[in-house]
Amino acid sequence: MSILRTTPKRPSVSGRNPFVYRPTASPQAAAEWTRRQIAMTNLRTVVGRAYPRVTGLFREKSWVFFEILLPFLSTSAFVFVYRALQAPPQYIGFVVLGGAMTAFWLNVIWMMAQQLWWEKSQGNLELYFAAPMHIMAVLFGMAFGGFVMSSTRAAAVLIIATAVYGVTFSVDQWALLIGVFLLTLAALYGLGMLLASLFLMWGREAWHLTQLLVEPVYFVSGLNFPIARLGVLGSVAISILPLAVGLDAMRQLAFAGAAYPIGTPSPLVEAAILVVMVVVFLVLSRWALAVLERRARQEGRLSVRWQ
Amino acid sequence: MSGTDQPLAIDVRGIRRVYNVKPKPVVALDGVDLQVEPGEFFGLLGPNGAGKTTLIKILTTLLLPSEGEARIFGFDVQRQTKQIRRIMNMVAGGEQSGYGILTVREQLWMFSQFYGLPSRDGWNRVDELIDAVGMQDQRTQRVSTLSTGQRQKMNFARGLLNDPWIFFLDEPTLGLDVSAARSVRELMLAWKAAVPGRTILLTTHYMAEADELCDRIAIVDHGRILALGTPDELKRRVQRESVFRIELDRLEGALGALRRLPGVVSATQAADADLSEGPSSRQTIEVNLALVDDAALGGVVGALAGLGARILALRKSEPSLEDVFVELVGRGFDEDKDADHDESHHGDNGRGHPGTSVGTHEAREREEEVVA
């Protein structure tokens, strides 16, 4: 007796054969895509890959505790330290702004940098590489979804902390402030995309490296104090870390009327540095992905099941 | 090229793949040549470590061969990856892809975006496929809560989102229960039948599955193709006679008469014949009969009627594909304890495959006719 039933599958609700979507004349015809098809596929991939992150924002309520309340407590600790030391009031604002930007850094370092590694362990990575879109589109989708998710968290921390601690912002150049904010995020997520590729190439060693970098990056980015206080180390940080340069520029712009520690470039120069960072990180991440794919195909690293 | 001037669906020539792992390199594929015509349902059958998954990974552009070349519908797997990725899809057994936080519908839609389906078309396509794989009740269920069988049906739907021309299925029924395995096999056949030219490459170490589904099968072991042909051709390699088991209501000298008939190689009473009294006090005798070919059966039936023996049942015994494998390599599928470098995640050894009621090694008896 056959192990199969021979009854045909019923047609779909629409009456069409569900196993035929868009018939093509031949495999060769199906394999030839126009530039528009390629571009639209990459664009749709960005949206598709961002979807789980944005959806998760509404489905996993635990983030309210872990991503807002806990960072808020950390920020609050520095607020009380500055108050105890009778620091100028703008320092409270510096800390609150740094606390808000922490959400993005955490997202980049933990959810962008590790993501491809995680996708590999889940079995998603080989499906991504086996699909026709550019893998950069997946990374952009991850970044976009992470940006939406972290923006919500950052805004929540900013609003709560501002209200609770009575922070007063003084902004003269709104456009530049918003521009610097967006450039900071672009550079941050560009760095995340680069790290994601490197993570995959180096495996768990990169994971340990990132763990090793978390606290030092916190420190040299000046999340809880003006980076100018770090002197030369601060200057170095500004030249390589998007969070450091972006936060410094935003603090200068958000507290325009207040005395700001000297020793860092003007916001415009810092904006220019961010532009360079965006370009460099995106180019490097694209290059790293290409290298990664080639090496992974040579060495069989696209799946955990190496065979 | 295939016979119709169409490029071959799969054209593999001299593929060799070596993994540089410690303590010594592992040769997963060792000079494989394989040609699959468009429209074929082709099976790669072999035990763990045979190299089946390695070959699939090369064909799906996820792995480069160390030597040799492979083409999918004429496209080179090393250089024309984009073209291949547009016309193929793949599903693996035990696949845990996607995101548990999404619903089935959302997960499939997300994957539809990776193939460039417009958003609304994507949702419609997903709904169609959810219906087709029978997951209407799980449409809004979170992926993390699906059973193994439901998950595999969803994976199958994912694999069909882009209307592939070639579908790579790597142990797709692994770990599924009877019903789910059957559903997945039906889906394979239904999908393939919908458009001429659609091709399936199935890897499995479930003999009955390969036997039932595949037009042709390659038996692989230790990275080499040991035999290639239709299931019948392969089985004929180990059985040159037609073997039947006949259940009679009486024997009384019939055995000797049968042995003298032309075309009868041997006729013996089955050692495990049921001689017990049945509910209707019916005594039955079973006879194993080896014939030169099936045509000799007519003479046997006529002779038995002449002797007054009534045939209660007649079954034809066929060798299994594992018998073929044993004949080729001198061991069974699950007897190679060192061959775990490939498909090492597969815990099942191929016996008692879900959805099949047949064992392995022993000759499979297929009831073809019941005359009682």
How large is the ipTM? 0.84
| Angle, in degrees to the nearest 10, between helices A232-240 and A267-299 | 60
**CB contacts < 8 A (A, B):** 197
Partner-chain residue, chosen from A13, A28, A127, that has the shortest CB–CB distance to B74: A28
| B169 within 8 A of B202, measured Cβ to Cβ | yes
Cβ separation of B182 and A4 shorter than 8 Å?
yes
| B255 within 8 A of B287, measured Cβ to Cβ | yes
Q: Does A36 touch chain B (CB under 8 A)?
A: no
Q: How far is CA A232 from the centre of its chain?
A: 28
Q: Does A208 touch chain B (CB under 8 A)?
A: no
CB atoms within 10 A of CB B21: 12
Give the C-alpha distances (Å, rounded to integers) separating A273 from A178, A181, A183, A219, A277.
16, 13, 10, 20, 6
Q: pLDDT tens per residue, chain B (372 residues)?
A: 555 578 999 999 999 999 988 888 899 999 999 999 999 999 998 888 889 999 999 999 999 999 999 999 999 999 999 999 999 999 988 788 889 899 999 999 999 999 999 999 999 999 999 998 889 999 999 999 999 889 999 999 999 999 999 999 998 888 788 888 888 899 899 999 999 999 999 998 788 888 889 999 999 999 999 999 999 888 887 777 888 888 888 877 778 888 888 988 888 887 654 444 444 445 688 888 888 888 889 988 988 888 888 889 998 887 777 778 777 776 666 655 444 444 433 333 333 344 433 333 333 333 222 222
**pTM of the model as a whole:** 0.80
CA distance A207 to chain B (A): 21
∠ CA(A260), CA(A266), CA(A267), 5° rounding?
95
CA distance A288 to chain B (A): 17
CA distance B276 to chain A (A): 26
Cβ separation of B190 and A40 shorter than 8 Å?
no
B248 Cβ neighbours under 8 A, 6+ residues apart: B254, B284, B285, B286, B287, B304, B309, B310, B311, B312
Which of B105, B128, B184, B345 to substitute to test the interface with A, most A CBs within 10 Å? B128
Give the C-alpha distances (Å, rounded to integers) separating B275 from B190, B278, B286, B350.
45, 9, 9, 33
Partner-chain residue, chosen from B113, B165, B191, that has the shortest CB–CB distance to A19: B191
Neighboring chain A residues of B162 at a CB cutoff of 8 Å: 21, 132
CA distance B86 to chain A (A): 5
A273 Cβ neighbours under 8 A, 6+ residues apart: A238, A239, A245, A265
Reply yes or no: is the peptide bond before residue A242 cis, omega within 30 of 0. no
